[in-house]
């Protein structure tokens, strides 16, 4: 049978199968029948058309059917077990120098905390805060110095402590991206706090009681923070010591290693929080029992994080260093006709920024400068604008947020709307520059004017209003990963397909909520980590380093910190917006292919029509 005849006979069947896969219909019997027929056609094509496009098309279709059938296959238990028994201990062994350095820094900082408390009696108040010290003194007077561990319900206390400990450890590990400086700062800070905290009870003659109470959970908790510091040092080592790799490649390797170590610490933090919530409160337990509990926890830490890595390294088991097998460097082509995952879209967004750094970063700096400049002018001109100051009680983001309050200066609210709209056009410019000329002219011609202008301005105003109105916290975070991505998709549909209220239904049709939530989650949490850095002492240290640029005036440094931090926060806010709208544009093309299959329909008639030699197009 001629290839063209074979395609004509089966074309309707293949299109039906494509439609069923696009609509994600999970009928097991139908899928089984589909798989059998497709594999029969594939076998025929392999026999009679081994080097033709129809064989590649059927092979791709068979793979899609197979993955649709086995999509729910569970993660293999053996792989999960090997991570804890082999891979993590070997990662610990390979990172032993960083872990030893982390332990040394932490213990030195704890010693500094002890010595400082010995020299200055009030040093503990500086580190722990007057409120905590006064509360503990009252508990000591009542004869229950460890009452702080009994004030809350066990379950709620455990959940809160687990979240806080994971947050501290995540900061310690993630700040390693700052060439390990941020990790070292967190280790020093926590070490000094521990030393001051423990010596405070020594001063009150309560060392033994505090030791038997605090270290019930502290053995696992402090050990995990030290190991998280080692993970941060490992993550930053790629930037400092790239070796024969490029810094980018070395950073990819070191970040993977650091992330694996941090993931291995999560059960340890959860267990420490459980101990603190449920066991630490029983201060009347005999001292021998509590001491044995502490020794058991210490034995586990020494066995799993010291002896087991050494043992695995000496038994012939070797880490295969798969993370070092990087793909060859090649130009990444942004395709607008294929279906992409959320990870691929996220990667493509940063590819856009890397290829168009001038347009992207210059627009962010201009937008941040205009917003902060306008706020500064209004603030000094007598307007009641709550400008960001170093002692702002609720953090960097809330400082920018306060400036956005419509009740103070509506011009800042609408100015932010206009700046967001400008960033939207910058994202459009970068996306258009990546499109092939024929695709751009036939599918998405440039539309500088139209009804999308007004409607998109209204939608952006809705985004800014949402941020301005909602309280910072879980509700705002959920809106950032769900509502805002949908509004961005609606804006993109308005531009590419024409603005009308029916575009709302089209945007809803094109939304893939799972993918959008994952993309929003990645972007919002990335911004959250940067906000944490701007609220940390590391940022203050960085700014103090440039104090020589500031006139020697008492208030000059305050103004320098104020305006520099405000600009940094505004750049970050506009950067997040740029990521969201650029990600929505790239998602749009992927989702259009899922819903409409435009490129697929254009490709089916050409299957087998081009002359080829052994599967390659003939010149």
DSSP string for residues in 517-561: HHHHHHHHHHHHHHHHHHTSHHHHHHHHHTGGGS-S-TTHHHHHH
| pLDDT tens by residue, 167-186 | 666 666 666 666 577 788 78
Last residue of a domain, one of 15, 43, 73: 73
Last residue of a domain, one of 57, 73, 89: 73
Residue 329 lies in a domain: no
Residue 328 lies in a domain: no
Residue 337 lies in a domain: no
| Average pLDDT of every residue of the chain | 77
| CA–CA distance, 591 with 192 (Å, rounded to integer) | 52
pLDDT at 159 over 50: yes
| CA–CA distance, 457 with 482 (Å, rounded to integer) | 20
Pair 158, 59 in one domain: no
Pair 83, 51 in one domain: no
pLDDT at 615 over 60: no
Last residue of a domain, one of 39, 73, 107: 73
With beta carbons less than 8 A apart as the criterion, state whether 118 and 182 touch. Answer: no
pLDDT at 383: 53
Pair 136, 175 in one domain: yes
Helix 483-497 vs helix 556-595: crossing angle, to nearest 10: 60
Pair 291, 359 in one domain: no
Pair 289, 379 in one domain: no
| pLDDT tens by residue, 90-128 | 889 888 999 999 999 999 999 998 998 888 888 888 777
Pair 359, 224 in one domain: no
28 pLDDT tier (thresholds 50, 70, 90): low
pLDDT at 499: 67
Residue 614 lies in a domain: no
**Residue 120 in tokens:** 């200055």
- Ranges 241-250, 297-306, 497-506, most confident: 297-306
| CA–CA distance, 468 with 587 (Å, rounded to integer) | 27
| pLDDT tens by residue, 280-297 | 777 788 889 889 999 999
Q: Which domain holds residue 400?
A: 342-603
Residue 609 lies in a domain: no
Pair 12, 42 in one domain: yes
Pair 444, 376 in one domain: yes
pLDDT at 616: 41
Q: Which residues, 6+ apart, have CB-to-CB distance to 343 below 8 Å?
A: 518
Pair 268, 361 in one domain: no
| CA–CA distance, 124 with 200 (Å, rounded to integer) | 7
Residue 612 lies in a domain: no
Pair 154, 90 in one domain: yes
pLDDT at 537: 62
**Residue 275 in tokens:** 């101990």
pTM passes above 0.85:
no
Pair 485, 583 in one domain: yes
In angstroms, how far is CA 50 from the centroid of its own chain?
Answer: 45
| pLDDT tens by residue, 480-501 | 888 888 989 989 888 888 767 7
| CA–CA distance, 209 with 215 (Å, rounded to integer) | 10
With beta carbons less than 8 A apart as the criterion, state whether 404 and 413 touch. Answer: yes
Residue 335 lies in a domain: no
* Nearest residue to 592 via CA among 532, 522, 507, 515: 507
pLDDT at 200 over 80: yes
Number of domains in the chain: 3
Residue 332 lies in a domain: no
Pair 92, 66 in one domain: no
pLDDT at 208 over 90: no
């Amino acid at each position: 049978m001629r290839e063209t005849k074979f395609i004509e006979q089966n074309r309707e069947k293949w299109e039906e199968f494509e439609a069923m896969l696009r609509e994600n219909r999970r009928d097991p019997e139908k899928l089984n029948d589909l798989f059998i027929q497709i594999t029969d056609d594939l076998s025929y094509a392999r026999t009679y058309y081994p080097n033709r496009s129809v064989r590649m098309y059927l092979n791709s279709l068979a793979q899609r059917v197979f993955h649709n059938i086995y999509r729910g296959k569970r993660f293999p238990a053996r792989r999960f077990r090997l991570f804890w028994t082999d891979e993590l201990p070997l990662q610990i062994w390979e990172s032993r120098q960083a872990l030893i350095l982390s332990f040394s820094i932490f213990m030195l900082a704890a010693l500094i905390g002890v010595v400082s408390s010995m020299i200055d009696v009030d040093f503990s108040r500086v580190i722990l805060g007057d409120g905590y010290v006064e509360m503990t003194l009252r508990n000591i007077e009542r004869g229950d110095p460890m009452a702080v561990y009994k004030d809350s319900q066990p379950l709620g206390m455990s959940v809160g402590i687990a979240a806080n400990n994971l947050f501290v450890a995540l900061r310690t590990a993630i700040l390693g991206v700052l060439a390990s400086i941020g990790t070292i700062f967190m280790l020093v800070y926590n070490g000094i706090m521990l030393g001051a905290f423990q010596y405070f009870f020594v001063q009150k003659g309560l060392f033994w009681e505090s030791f038997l109470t605090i270290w019930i959970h502290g053995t696992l908790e402090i050990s995990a923070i030290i190991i998280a510091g080692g993970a941060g040092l490992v993550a930053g080592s790629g930037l400092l010591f790239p070796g024969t790799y490029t810094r980018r490649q070395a950073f990819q390797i070191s970040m993977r290693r650091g992330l694996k170590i941090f993931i291995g610490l999560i059960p340890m933090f959860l267990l420490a929080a459980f101990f603190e919530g449920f066991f630490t409160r029983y201060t009347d337990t005999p001292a021998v029992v509590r001491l044995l509990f502490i020794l058991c926890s210490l034995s586990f830490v020494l066995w799993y994080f010291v002896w087991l890595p050494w043992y695995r390294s000496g038994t012939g088991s070797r880490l295969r260093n798969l993370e070092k097998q990087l793909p060859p460097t090649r130009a990444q082509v942004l395709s607008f006709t294929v279906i992409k995952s959320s990870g691929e879209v996220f990667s493509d967004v940063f590819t856009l920024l890397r290829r168009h750094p001038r347009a992207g970063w210059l627009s962010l700096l201009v937008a941040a400068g205009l917003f902060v400049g306008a706020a500064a002018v209004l603030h000094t001109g007598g307007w009641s604008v709550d400008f960001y100051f170093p002692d702002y009680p609720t953090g960097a983001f809330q400082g920018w947020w306060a400036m956005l309050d419509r009740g103070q200066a509506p011009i800042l609210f609408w100015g932010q709307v206009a700046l967001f709209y400008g960033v939207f056009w910058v994202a459009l410019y970068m996306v258009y520059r990546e499109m092939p000329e024929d695709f751009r002219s036939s599918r998405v011609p440039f539309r500088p004017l139209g009804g999308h202008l007004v409607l998109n301005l209204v939608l952006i105003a809705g985004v800014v209003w949402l941020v301005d109105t909602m309280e910072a916290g879980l509700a705002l975070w959920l809106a950032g990963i769900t509502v805002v991505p949908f509004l961005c998709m609606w804006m993109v549909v308005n531009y590419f397909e024409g603005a009308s209220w029916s575009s709302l239904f089209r945007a809803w049709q094109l939304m893939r909520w799972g993918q959008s939530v994952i993309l929003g989650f990645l972007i919002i949490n990335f911004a959250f980590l940067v906000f944490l850095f701007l609220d940390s002492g590391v940022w203050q240290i960085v700014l103090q380093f440039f104090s020589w640029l500031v006139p020697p005036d008492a208030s000059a440094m305050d103004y320098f910190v104020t305006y520099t931090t405000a600009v940094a926060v505004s750049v970050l806010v506009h950067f997040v917006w740029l990521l969201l709208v650029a990600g929505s544009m790239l998602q749009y093309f992927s989702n259009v292919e899922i819903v409409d299959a435009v490129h697929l329909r254009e490709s089916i008639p050409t299957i087998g029509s081009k002359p080829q030699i052994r599967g390659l197009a003939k010149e």
